[in-house]
Amino acid sequence: MSLKDCLDYMQPSVYRDGDLVLGGFFPLYTLKHNSEAQGKFFVTSPRQNVTYNLLNFQNYAYVLIFLFAIEEINRSPLILPNVSLGFRRYNVIPSVFRTLESVLGWLSEGEPPIPNYTCHTHTKNMAVIAGIPSEFLEQAGALLELYGTPQISYGTFDPLLTTKDQVSSLYQISLNHSCLAAGLASLLIHFGWTWVGILVPDDTKGEQFIWDLRKEMTMKGVCVALIEKVPVTNIINTPRDVTYLPRVMKSSANAFIIYGEISILVTMRFIDDYNLITHKIWIITSQWDFSFLPAAYLWDIFHGTLFFSHQDSEIPGFKHFLRTVTPSKYPEDFFLTQYWLYLFDCSLAGTVCGEISVCLPNASLDSLTEGKLDTTLMKSTNDLYNAVHLVAHALHDMILMGEETRDQMEAEHHVLLPWQLHPFLKNAELENSAGEHVSLNENRNCVSRYEILNFLNFPGALRLPMKVGEFIPQGPHGQGLMIQEELIEWAFGFTETPHSVCSNSCDAGFMKIPQKWKPSCCFDCIACPEGEISNQTDSDTCMECPQSQYPNMERNRCLPKMVTFLAYEDPLGMALACTALGFSVITAGVLWVFVKHRDSPIVKANNRALSYVLLLSLLHCFLCSLLFIGRPNTATCLLRQITFGVVFTVAISAVLAKTITVILAFKALTPGRTLRRLLLSGAPNAVVPICSFIQLIICGAWLGTSPPFVDIDTHSEPRSIIIVCNKGSTTAFYCVLGFLGFLALGTFFLAYQARNLPDTFNEAKFLTFSMLGFCSVWVTFLPVYHSTQGKVMVAVEVFSILASSVGLLGCIFAPKCYVIFLHLGRNTSKGLRNKTCFEEK
């Protein structure tokens, strides 16, 4: 047989005899859509031509593990003693037209297969072990179910197969991958990929995966940019058949999750035709088995891929077994001969191909390099090993069953039937040589750990899967995912960690506003409103700072507010305090002048007692303004408004009494008149205690119901906390001001009426001007007071007190001091002669 014929030949099955026989189904071939067979074995269907190509001998490593497990069991004196295990191994043709061909061969035990017939009187076939896609398992299971033949799958766990009644004889030894969606979502969040595309097979498994993944993504705030369902096929399609790739290319998402069997990987081969690899990141699940394809399919396309892998532990003794495997050891295995020819360009004498070239004496599978036999990229190797051992233990238990079963076996010439194995498979448990606990419990636990690999491809078929992290589903909250990002080499076209978002993140100080009719990951960013901050990226809302803090200019953090008040150290407070003290000194000086010149006509003519009362009240008015300056406390808050109201009431009532005195003086010139008697009796002086008493009643009611208290103002100045005196009852405060206003207006009205009375010492004009100034100050005070906040409001009130007090002092006493100091001639009795001024008695 020539070299070409040897490589092109496809043998249906390989058989080694034993007391009991296990069936192994391994897809060593894949299919390629091609209109020309070009010397290859092909079959024509009504719809297409298909060429069977032996694309990758890597898959033969599954066969080697299968052989190793059987030999290990045959050598063991503890498992199936005196019973040898044989095998009947089939190549599974991945074609919908020939799916059941290998299964029929197993049931018929002959070539070619004859449906519903067996070529042997007593069958030795006990169980089938397969790990090919779920479609084959389901279809083969329906046929094997007719004969009760157990089928153990070492492939990826498929939860849908556990719910199908027609495959009740099917067992899955691999663990559940239900935690995979949580791991993928955690990975996306770690890299900030919130805009992700998904590629799944167009079948029930794909639908279930989308459901699980979207649930996890929604909980973590990740959005789906694109979902593409790839037609389930085992044929390598042409680029024209892969209609979803242009949509993948145009998608704004840079990260794509690919889930499914090998058929998706085959179709993704044509991604390179669309030049997508330079700006897409592929996240591949552990269902993929790269060993099915040669490196030519992987170079450039999946370089930098992140791969979720349920990593298998090393099988003890397997490397030593590889050193002993040669075609001469297994002469019936034509696939091994082809494998050897492929690896070493030679074949041994006595094999099917005959001697082709001369093989090196030390050639062994253990010495292979350049990834020609890389079990690190193959999945389910341990599950295959465990499946063979689990079946052997079940057979062992069945042989050692109770006396009744042994009698039945003896009556039937020791014939064991496949359907008898089911109860033993369900109860079988073992700990294999790797220390792993194995069973077929239907309550499948989730995979305990996923390794995250960074898949790198290099020229010369060199593959390097580098571990960059892991995901532990049962890990502590928020710590299940661990990534060493510095070890990751990204796909060509990325020099740093790629981004895959619908909208760029909103920086701190901004908040997200969802875009209408788009997923939640698509949003606009707007600055936080005045007085609010956001201290995280992608904040949904802004929050107000605590009352003791204020936002900075960037509105991304709160700063502590300064405590402030109208202090003596402030320039404004110092100026007002100095003004108050200065005019207090001036007022005291004027009082001293009036006391010193108390017997002078000008002092006596203007009611000396009321002048003293007015000057003393003005002195207290100036001094009471100091209660408004400095840090407020309970005492100053109680005293400032009460003192202000009372002393100003005394001052205004004294001016009112003076005004009444002037009016009575000119109205009472006729002797015997009642007004004269009132004037002589000093009745106008009673105005001062009466008005003061009324104001004291108002202030007492204020203190008794809702007195002023120390408070803080956090709103007037955004960066300060102002300590203020809360008035307690605003109504009482305005009652005090209202009473003062009533006295001031009444005094102004009376003074205005007496402004033209003739006399040298008539002070009616001065009283009119003083009250005009007083009323002007306080009428202006009200709107200004309400338009200011914080310590400025206090300063306005202090300024109004000082201004109105200065007005009274200047308008009433400045002319008198002028006469006393500069016009002494007018301050004599002679100066008063022929005048109508009334002299105080």
Question: For 70-96, what is each residue's pLDDT tens digit?
Answer: 999 999 888 888 889 999 888 776 665
Residue 582 lies inside a defined structural domain of this protein: yes
Residue 494 lies inside a defined structural domain of this protein: no
Residue 304 Rama label (left phi>0; alpha psi -120 to 50; beta)? left
| Each residue's pLDDT tens digit, 796-817 | 888 988 998 888 888 888 878 8
Q: Which residues contact 493 (CB under 8 A, 6 or more apart)?
A: 277, 278, 279
Which of 75-79, 308-312, 821-825 has maximum average pLDDT? 75-79
Higher pLDDT, 404 or 243: 243
**CB-based contact 184:285 (threshold 8 Å):** yes
Total domain count for the chain? Answer: 4
Q: Which of 101, 132, 110 is nearest to 30 (CA)?
A: 132
Lowest-confidence segment of 51-60, 247-256, 303-312, 646-655 by average pLDDT: 51-60
For helices 60-75 and 381-399, give the axis angle rounded to 10 degrees: 30
* DSSP 8-state assignment for residue 63: H
Are 161 and 101 in the same domain?
yes
Higher pLDDT, 672 or 134: 134
Are 542 and 616 in the same domain?
no
Residue 589 lies inside a defined structural domain of this protein: yes
| Three-state DSSP state, 360 | coil
The reported pTM is: 0.62
Are 634 and 755 in the same domain?
yes
**What φ, ψ does residue 237 adopt, rounded to 5°?**
-85, 160
Residue 51 lies inside a defined structural domain of this protein: no
pLDDT given at position 193: 92
Are 94 and 18 in the same domain?
yes
**Among candidate residues 538, 560, 582, the one where a domain is terminated:** 560
pLDDT at residue 17 greater than cutoff 50: yes
- Looking up residue 137, the CATH number of its domain turns out to be 3.40.50.2300
CA 125/CA 510 separation, integer angstroms = 70
Are 768 and 625 in the same domain?
yes
Residue 645 lies inside a defined structural domain of this protein: yes
Are 426 and 521 in the same domain?
no
Q: What DSSP string runs through 670-725?
A: STT-HHHHHHHHTGGGGHHHHHHHHHHHHHHHHHHHS--EEEEESSSSTTEEEEEE
Q: Tell me which amino acid residue 705 is.
A: T
Higher pLDDT, 433 or 389: 389
Give the β-pairing of 125-130 and 170-172: unpaired
Give the β-pairing of 20-26 and 125-130: parallel
pLDDT given at position 332: 79
For helices 634-667 and 674-681, give the axis angle rounded to 10 degrees: 140
- In this structure, the number of other CB atoms found within 10 A of the CB of residue 515 comes to 14
pLDDT given at position 312: 64
pLDDT given at position 582: 92
CA 787/CA 697 separation, integer angstroms = 30
Are 652 and 633 in the same domain?
yes
pLDDT at residue 403 greater than cutoff 80: no
Lowest-confidence segment of 333-347, 484-498, 769-783 by average pLDDT: 333-347
Are 170 and 184 in the same domain?
no
Give the per-residue SS3 of 763-794: CHHHHHHHHHHHHHHHHHHHHHHHHCCCHHHH
Distances (CA, A) of 79 to 150, 429, 448: 20, 13, 29
| Each residue's pLDDT tens digit, 466-522 | 889 888 877 665 568 889 888 888 877 777 888 888 888 889 999 999 888 888 889
What's the distance, Cα to Cα, between the start and end of the chain in Å?
157
CA 509/CA 224 separation, integer angstroms = 27
Are 119 and 81 in the same domain?
yes
Percent of the chain past pLDDT 70, that is, above it, reads 73
pLDDT given at position 778: 82
**CB-based contact 339:62 (threshold 8 Å):** no
Are 576 and 684 in the same domain?
yes
pLDDT given at position 476: 60
Q: Is the peptide bond before 112 cis (omega within 30 degrees of 0)?
A: yes
As given in the structure block, the two tokens for residue 449 are 């750990």
- CA dihedral over 274, 275, 281, 287, signed as positive or negative: positive
**Among candidate residues 560, 593, 620, the one where a domain is terminated:** 560
Q: What DSSP string runs through 441-500?
A: -SSPPBPS-EEEEEEEEETTTEEEEEEEEEE-TTSSTT-SEEE-GGG--PPTT-SS----
pLDDT given at position 48: 42
Residue 797 lies inside a defined structural domain of this protein: yes
Are 14 and 136 in the same domain?
yes
Residue 373 lies inside a defined structural domain of this protein: no
CA 748/CA 771 separation, integer angstroms = 5
Higher pLDDT, 840 or 518: 518
**CB-based contact 648:691 (threshold 8 Å):** no
Residue 16 lies inside a defined structural domain of this protein: yes
Count how many Cα atoms sit within 13 Å of the Cα of residue 307 in the half-sphere of its side chain.
Answer: 26
pLDDT given at position 820: 78
Are 149 and 195 in the same domain?
no
664-691 as b/e: b if 16+ CB within 10 A: bbbebeeeeeebbebbeeeebbebbeeb
Confidence of residue 607 (pLDDT cuts 50, 70, 90): confident
pLDDT given at position 526: 92
In total, the chain counts a number of residues equal to 841
- Looking up residue 752, the CATH number of its domain turns out to be 1.20.1070.10
CA 541/CA 519 separation, integer angstroms = 17
Confidence of residue 133 (pLDDT cuts 50, 70, 90): low
pLDDT given at position 45: 38
Which structural domain, as residue segments, surrounds residue 459?
A: 180-285+288-313+447-464
